[in-house]
């Protein structure tokens, strides 16, 4: 048995693949295997991997039709022989001591999940992903909200027997890794974080095929569909593994707050600025569908949701078509019908300093409160 199995889905990365593999070969720890799962590449990626396999007995290649990274990773999990499993994207790199660092921490602490620091890099420079540098020590998903800001699998190490009980959702193509990582956080008896750097995450040019920015811009409606699937799958896992209702509500609110800021607003903004009425209306329908999954507790506790529905939309209001403006205002009204007065009052106080945005939001919210009978008498307190 190897100490670590490194699972790498591969798809059309001939420009970066040698850098990735060289960073693995140069690891200070040598007792590991590498499982490449080619996902139907049409470039020279497979031939590059075969070159390395010829001189490295701990590497193997499995080829499949193009089925997405989740299917590839699940195949890797199934085949892994290591005591622990690490995931890596085929255009990223590892520091020389990455596997040794993570493995030693896992063994010393008898942990199922290890989280390490991450740097981003491009062709010119590298810089820290601040949210990935957690306070060192043992973590808990309920107490440590910062875990929700590191939901990718690649800066982690998972105990093999632990992760083999789970799967990446194969019907989700965006934010799919969040489902498995959050499930791992919920199930793990011990999670250990270190601020030592264990992963280098490549930022591709925005116009490069496969870049995250390109996905969000070109496929915004589909991204919202995928985020909805990821969110609802995670809701099921939270209900399954968390029995305390108060903790359950806190976790759902914290996760949705992160989701709406990082995964929902970017594609939604691209939809708004498209100025295409059909796309805007469809995007607004998808936003309402997401909001309809929220409990009253989450609606009233999620400041990021209030920000999206007021300040963020108002900043882009002129981009909305006439029908889209009507649809947006309908969603705003329905949402605020489920929002308590105290919560709105506190939120408005938080944006009072913005002289441009505040009067617009204030007027808009008052207008819709007048249509809600059961809170009409409270308008004066805002």
* pLDDT tens digits, 245-271: 999 999 999 999 999 999 999 999 999
Domain finish residue from 146, 177, 202: 202
- Mean pLDDT score, 306-311: 83
Binned at pLDDT 50, 70 and 90, residue 227 comes out as very high
Is the domain of 251 the same as that of 351?
yes
In a domain, 81, yes or no: yes
- Mean pLDDT score, 341-364: 55
* pLDDT tens digits, 122-167: 999 999 999 999 999 999 999 999 999 999 999 999 999 999 999 9
Domain finish residue from 202, 224, 259: 202
Is the domain of 287 the same as that of 178?
no
Range scoring the smallest mean pLDDT among 195-204, 220-229, 373-382 = 373-382
pLDDT at 312: 87
pLDDT at 348: 53
Q: Considering the chain, what percentage of its residues have pLDDT values greater than 90?
A: 74
Is the domain of 245 the same as that of 182?
no
Instruction: With a cut of 70, say whether residue 350 has pLDDT above it.
Output: no
CATH number, domain of 62, equals 3.90.550.10
In a domain, 373, yes or no: yes
Q: Considering the chain, what percentage of its residues have pLDDT values greater than 70?
A: 85
Range of the domain at 13: 4-202
Is the domain of 244 the same as that of 189?
no
Domain finish residue from 202, 221, 253: 202
Is the domain of 192 the same as that of 303?
no
* pLDDT tens digits, 174-196: 889 999 999 999 999 999 999 99
In a domain, 207, yes or no: no
pLDDT at 354: 58
Binned at pLDDT 50, 70 and 90, residue 110 comes out as very high
Q: How far apart are CA 316 and CA 335, in angstroms?
A: 19
Instruction: With a cut of 70, say whether residue 98 has pLDDT above it.
Output: yes
Number of domains comprising the chain: 2
């Amino acid at each position: 048995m190897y100490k670590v199995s490194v699972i790498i889905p591969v798809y059309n990365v001939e420009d970066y693949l040698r850098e990735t593999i060289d960073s693995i070969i140069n690891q200070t720890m040598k007792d590991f295997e590498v499982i490449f799962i080619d996902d139907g590449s049409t470039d020279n990626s497979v031939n590059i991997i075969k070159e390395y396999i010829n001189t490295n007995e701990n590497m193997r290649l499995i080829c499949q039709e193009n089925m997405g990274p989740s299917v590839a990773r699940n195949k890797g999990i199934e085949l892994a022989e290591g005591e622990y499993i690490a995931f890596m994207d085929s255009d990223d790199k590892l520091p020389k001591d990455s596997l040794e660092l993570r493995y030693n921490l896992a063994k010393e602490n008898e942990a199922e999940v290890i989280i390490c620091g991450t740097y981003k890099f491009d062709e010119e420079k590298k810089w820290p992903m601040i949210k990935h540098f957690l306070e060192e020590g043992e973590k808990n998903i309920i107490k440590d909200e910062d875990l929700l800001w590191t939901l990718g699998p690649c800066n982690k190490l998972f105990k093999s027997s632990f992760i083999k009980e789970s799967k990446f959702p194969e019907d989700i193509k965006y934010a799919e890794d969040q489902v498995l990582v959050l499930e791992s956080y919920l199930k793990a008896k011990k999670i250990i974080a270190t601020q030592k750097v264990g992963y280098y995450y490549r930022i591709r040019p925005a116009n490069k095929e496969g870049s995250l920015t390109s996905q969000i811009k070109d496929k915004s409606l589909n991204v919202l569909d995928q985020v909805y699937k990821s969110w609802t799958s995670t809701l099921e896992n939270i209900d399954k593994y968390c029995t305390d209702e108060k903790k359950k509500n806190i976790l759902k609110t914290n996760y949705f707050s992160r989701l709406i800021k990082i995964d929902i607003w970017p594609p939604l903004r691209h939809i708004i600025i498209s100025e295409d009425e059909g796309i805007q209306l469809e995007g607004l329908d998808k936003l309402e569908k997401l909001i309809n999954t929220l409990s009253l507790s989450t609606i009233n506790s999620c400041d990021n949701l209030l920000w999206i529905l007021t300040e963020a939309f108002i900043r882009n209001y002129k981009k909305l078509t006439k029908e889209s403006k009507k649809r947006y205002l309908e969603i705003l009204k329905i949402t605020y019908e489920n929002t308590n007065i105290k919560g709105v009052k506190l939120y408005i106080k938080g944006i009072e300093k913005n002289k441009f945005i505040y009067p617009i939001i204030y007027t808009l919210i008052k207008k819709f409160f007048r249509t809600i009978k059961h809170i009409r008498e409270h308008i004066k307190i805002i």
